Structure 1
Amino acid sequence: MGKKKMLFVYNPKAGKERIRSNLLDIIDIFAKAGYEVTVHPTQEQGDAIEAVKNRDRGFDIVTCSGGDGTLDEVVSGMWMSKTRVPIGYVPAGSTNDFAMSLGIPAAMHASAEAIVTGREYACDIGVMNGDTFVYIAAFGLFTDVSYLTKQDIKNVLGHMAYIFEGAKRLSEIRSYHMKVTADDMVIEDDFVFGMVTNSISVGGFKDITGKHIKLDDGVFEVTLVKFPDNMLDMSNLMAALLNRDIDTEQMYCFKTSHLVLESKESIAWTRDGEFGGEHTYVDIKNENKALKIMVPNKN
């Protein structure tokens, strides 16, 4: 009986470049579990998409290591490919929100072990104007911080890099007039921030998307934050958002499997921490249990 085949795609610059000192040990874990491993270090943005989309059909699993952006690319490549296989994830980024949501260990050796000893979990993914995202699509306040913060700053400061960069933007707060259609509901208002999520953690903050989150229920958690009257209201609003203290006068929170957001001006979006383009029309759909990812066995 032949060995199982694994494509291992990793981002050598993710996080604090932790993968460099752990790479051989991780490959050894896979090899000891009976895998023949083909290694592909990414060279530029979009490289992981092409590597997975155009991979040989003989691979039994595709594993990746990097931040949420690397995972997003691997999922995109899998979505575009004709043959879909389980995905393993060794988190190595600055925040690793999706790994936290799935209970994947932060320690690289432990997450590698979970791939070869764990179980397949079928979770939802999102499709935004034809492009996939794993756990979040967002617009507005601070959402450009993750992709505009330089990688070397992220490597030195880690999660604090996002906080420092975001603090510099407080004077740039602006709103976007949008029409939002979801199920039988139509909302039209001015928003400073909006996120469509399938995660228990965003930006390293747990529970910001709500309580009792399930990643395989076929619906997103949607949060739309209205434009406040003054900076004091903005401060209170951000505190309420972080504490998930829902103020219905200032924000809309609901669940849906499909929504459309329309605006007259182009609005910049982020998908899984990476730039998602500028749009006047955004159609977001939940693809229920479309992704199989390896997670640790339940105790």
Structure 2
Amino acid sequence: MAGEKRFDRVALVVNSGSRSGAAAFEEVRGRLDDLGVPLGEWYQVTDGARLPEVVAEVADHHDLVVVGGGDGTLSTAVDHLAPRRVALGVLPLGTANDFARTLRIPFGLAGACETIAHGKVVDVDLGRIGDNHFVNVASIGLSVGVTRALTPRLKSRLGPLAYPLAAVRAYRAHQPFRARLEFPDGDHAPMEFDDLLQVAVGNGRHYGGGNVVSPTAGIDDNTLDVYAIPAGRVRDHLSIARLLRNGSVVRHQNVVHVTTRRLNLHAEPDQAINVDGEVVATTPQEFSVQRNALVVLVPQESDAARLDTRHP
């Protein structure tokens, strides 16, 4: 089988706190075994705080780690897989699954397991903020309020429909902020904004349950997409919201969009930062892109990325 030829030491780590993680664990073990994937160890992590510890441990003695969970789980896992050049197999078990969407990995367990057994190896870029990586988007402003409004109960009850409801709640409570964007590589002049709704820094293509960062955004282009949305009238924001799905929001007259490889972001007052659906940092921070930092399995027909560096 394909899994046996390429990977000799495979571990499975499933976040049982993700939307469908608990129910998926045994099914995935059986499917991977039937497909010839040589699982040596498997862990069902019920406490999400322990997940980094488990991934770090298995990454030291496996060449493929299959991770089941949402985007926040995957973002945490890559902190330990990327530096070791350990390959990632993705089981999309969250609410948004935007990393899988970007890479065109099937959401269903059968298709995701087939990808792990018979998919191709590619390497993708990762965003970096401080000592942490992100796979999709890091942002400040409204998105932080949305993340905080997305309670486990709401996600469990409504699934992807929880996002628009959380967005409405966050919008009503939002407080505008000031920001300064600096570009250490000198590719853009510094930018100052007085009243903002949101600043987003995208590494991948999708975020927020299927929204597109920009029409040209990709996860293998060595580029960060940065956009700033000003505070303003409700009708302006409604016109912007309608453009989020296909990424044409960056062409709206009220939205500022640039591409870069490094960004220093300052805000007043300091703002919490949402990293792939988890609030994990505060401004000020430097953002950068790491080219071909993560090795991952994708379907043979996926054209989202290619293998640019040699995988051990």
TM-score (norm 2): 0.86
Aligned to 2:276: 272
Instruction: Say if 1:240 and 1:148 are closer, same or farther in 2 by CA, change over 3 A.
Output: closer
Q: Report if the CA contact (8 A) 2:136-2:206 is conserved.
A: no
Offset of residue 151 of structure 1: 1.3
Distance in 2 (CA, whole Å) between partners of 1:8 and 1:106 is 17
Aligned to 1:193: 198
2:288 to 285, 289, 292: 285
Instruction: Say if 1:246 and 1:291 are closer, same or farther in 2 by CA, change over 3 A.
Output: closer
| Higher deviation after alignment, 87-96 or 125-134 | 125-134
Q: Which amino acid aligns with 1:48?
A: L
Aligned to 2:32: 30
In structure 2, the gaps of 5 or more residues are 303-312
Aligned to 1:66: 69
Instruction: Say if 1:148 and 1:277 are closer, same or farther in 2 by CA, change over 3 A.
Output: farther
Aligned to 2:87: 86
Q: Report if the CA contact (8 A) 1:48-1:77 is conserved.
A: no
Distance in 2 (CA, whole Å) between partners of 1:216 and 1:60 is 22
Q: Report if the CA contact (8 A) 1:180-1:186 is conserved.
A: yes
Aligned to 1:202: 207
Offset of residue 52 of structure 1: 1.7
Offset of residue 167 of structure 1: 1.3
Distance in 1 (CA, whole Å) between partners of 2:268 and 2:204 is 29
Identity of aligned residues (%): 22
Offset of residue 130 of structure 1: 1.9
SS at match of 1:49: helix
Q: Which amino acid aligns with 1:199?
A: G
Of Structure 1 and Structure 2, which has the larger fraction of its residues in strand?
1
Q: Report if the CA contact (8 A) 1:227-1:250 is conserved.
A: no
Within a 5 Å distance, the mapping from 1:202-281 to structure 2 comes to 202-206=207-211, 208-228=212-232, 230-242=233-245, 244-247=248-251, 249-279=253-283, 281=284
Of Structure 1 and Structure 2, which has the larger fraction of its residues in helix?
2
Distance in 2 (CA, whole Å) between partners of 1:247 and 1:174 is 24
Number of residues paired by the alignment?
292
Q: Report if the CA contact (8 A) 2:182-2:264 is conserved.
A: yes
SS at match of 1:174: coil
After superposition, the CA RMSD in angstroms is: 2.2
Q: Which amino acid aligns with 1:102?
A: L
Offset of residue 245 of structure 1: 4.4
